[in-house]
Amino acid sequence: MDISPTAGIEALTGQDLPVVVLAGRVNAGKSTLFNRIARGGRAITSAIPGTTRDLNIAPASFDGHRFLIVDSGGLEIDGRERMASRVTEKAAHAIASADVVVYVVDGQAGLSAADNDALALIREIGRPFLVAVNKIDRTGAEQQSAEFYALGCDRLFCISAAHGRGVEQLLEAIVATLPEAPGTPVEAPDLRLALIGRPNVGKSSLLNRLAGFERSIVDEIPGTTRDAVDVRIEAQGRRVLLIDTAGVRRRTHVEGELERQSVGRTIQTIRRAEVVALVIDATEGITDQDARLARLADTEDRALIVVCNKWDLAAKEGRKTIVFSRDARGRYPFLEFAPIVYTSAVKGFGVDEILKTASRVGAAFRQTFQTSRLNKILAEATSAMDPPLIAGRRLNLLYVSQISNSPPRLKFFCNLERDIPAHYIRFLEGRFRAALDLAGTPLRFEFQKRTPGKSGSAGQKRHSLTTD
């Protein structure tokens, strides 16, 4: 196997910290150990062999020492399946970037020839390593690990990743082996961008194009990505955190433990992001499931762009961007505010527009506005269309102010706060969006009653509305 150098793990995360890679054969418990050390539960764990495919990276610390912990896929040197070979290759590249490798073996399954082969590869790469015998769940069971001394190591660490037994002693050995971290502070990203979508629409291919190297495993088999994958890049003078997620099927098609966890991680990922890029397959168009994902992003108060991938194939079928955009927004009016970017991850065209558009949308998401500007827009809006009559009384919008951002939220002080017609709310939204250039971001309205001659909470009531 060619173990050529790749971009270091710290380059992927933007953190100049020592790197600890968890390696081992499938189902040895690496992801469970990763979750315990990272204290974040970021990796998906399952008894199904080969759950982890991409690298999963998280910051960790122990006894004042900070480092990056990396969960890698199973090292199956003689794996006959195509995916197993690719996962092993990616794990080997991670090992080459490690400061310390923890080789995890299954203490219940016992020693196998495949463990010897995998550890031989780690020795060949030449990185320092420790051997952790996992699934030693009870006191007095250490003797069953003695056979692993045949791997040629001087010390074994008997642990239970599931229950935490022995993990502290392992961490002590890890930090004793690590080089000193330079302590460079990690700069927060300027933009947090999540890629979501149905399986096999090209999210990982787009991530790899944006990152400039193969960070995620890409395959035509749907559902290749299971964990959320983070990559930090610098583009157009901005620090961007890219997050790839597992594809989300319709609920009736969510089968098994792994996919349920992937769906849950997608929701968590949306909450971590500022801007969500909904990746769709241009050859299929926007489906009802795509629309559900878009509404999920909106429900979580996240900005949205639509990435229409595989447009090279759609163009061969004679499709036109202007017609596609018109039809998509006609069928799903709530997507009207979301910019559409047309790309081909395979050919590379349009990919640069994703970050440009996401940056513009992210700026609108975080924007704050002067009250005087907002009230000028309000005055122009009420002059263009008279506020409606509600139960025989004319709605009187006294003034408006911004009460928060990310996304922008405006509060209207008025004489009435309930039963405001949806068409008038949409009209106000359109006026404010156009005047403030709020493409891509949700815009939230609150209506609060203000009684003339009174002040304080006794004279005010509040009613909140979204603008869907």
Summarised one tens digit per residue, pLDDT across range 117-140 is: 888 878 877 788 999 999 988 776
pLDDT confidence bin for 253, thresholds 50/70/90 = very low
Whether residue 399 is contained in a domain is answered as yes
Q: What is the pLDDT of residues 393-427, one digit of tens each?
A: 999 999 999 999 999 999 999 998 889 999 999 99
The per-residue pLDDT for 239 is 84
Query: Taking 50 as the threshold, does the pLDDT of residue 67 lie above it?
Result: yes
Q: What CATH number does the domain containing 276 carry?
A: 3.40.50.300
The per-residue pLDDT for 223 is 39
- Distance in angstroms (rounded) separating the CA atoms of residues 9 and 23: 15
Whether residue 77 is contained in a domain is answered as yes
The per-residue pLDDT for 387 is 93
One domain for residues 300 and 360: yes
Q: 151-155, 343-347, 417-421: lowest mean pLDDT where?
A: 151-155
- Distance in angstroms (rounded) separating the CA atoms of residues 286 and 283: 9
Q: Which of 154, 177, 200 is the last residue of a domain?
A: 177
Element (H, E) at 134: strand 129-134
Q: Which of 142, 177, 212 is the last residue of a domain?
A: 177
Query: Taking 70 as the threshold, does the pLDDT of residue 141 lie above it?
Result: no
With a CB cutoff of 8 Å and minimum separation 6, the contacts of 463 are: 417, 418, 446, 447, 448, 449
Q: What is the pLDDT of residues 349-375, one digit of tens each?
A: 999 999 999 999 999 999 999 999 999
One domain for residues 18 and 42: yes
One domain for residues 300 and 361: yes
Total domains, the chain:
3
- Distance in angstroms (rounded) separating the CA atoms of residues 77 and 75: 6
Whether residue 33 is contained in a domain is answered as yes
One domain for residues 142 and 27: yes
pLDDT over 90 percentage in the chain: 38
One domain for residues 209 and 334: yes
Mean pLDDT across the chain, nearest whole number?
Answer: 79
Whether residue 1 is contained in a domain is answered as no
Q: Which of 177, 204, 232 is the last residue of a domain?
A: 177
One domain for residues 217 and 114: no
Whether residue 182 is contained in a domain is answered as no
The per-residue pLDDT for 467 is 46
Query: Taking 70 as the threshold, does the pLDDT of residue 384 lie above it?
Result: yes
Query: Taking 70 as the threshold, does the pLDDT of residue 461 lie above it?
Result: no
Whether residue 133 is contained in a domain is answered as yes
Mean per-residue pLDDT for 223-239?
65
With a CB cutoff of 8 Å and minimum separation 6, the contacts of 303 are: 274, 275, 276, 297, 361, 362, 364, 365, 407, 440, 441, 442
Mean per-residue pLDDT for 449-458?
55
Mean per-residue pLDDT for 198-222?
68
One domain for residues 271 and 346: yes
- The two counts, helices (H) then strands (E), for the chain are 13, 18
Q: 56-60, 218-222, 337-341: lowest mean pLDDT where?
A: 218-222
pLDDT confidence bin for 48, thresholds 50/70/90 = very low
Q: What CATH number does the domain containing 454 carry?
A: 3.30.300.20
Whether residue 233 is contained in a domain is answered as yes
One domain for residues 212 and 342: yes
The per-residue pLDDT for 382 is 94
One domain for residues 216 and 360: yes
The per-residue pLDDT for 335 is 85
- Distance in angstroms (rounded) separating the CA atoms of residues 464 and 424: 15
One domain for residues 427 and 282: no
- Exposed/middle/buried for 431, CB within 10 Å: 0-12, 13-18, 19+? middle
Query: Taking 60 as the threshold, does the pLDDT of residue 102 lie above it?
Result: yes
One domain for residues 203 and 322: yes
Q: 31-45, 103-117, 248-262: lowest mean pLDDT where?
A: 248-262
Give the residue numbers spanning the domain of 382: 371-465
Q: What is the pLDDT of residues 274-293, one digit of tens each?
A: 999 999 999 999 998 898 88
One domain for residues 69 and 163: yes
Mean per-residue pLDDT for 105-115?
87
Whether residue 183 is contained in a domain is answered as no
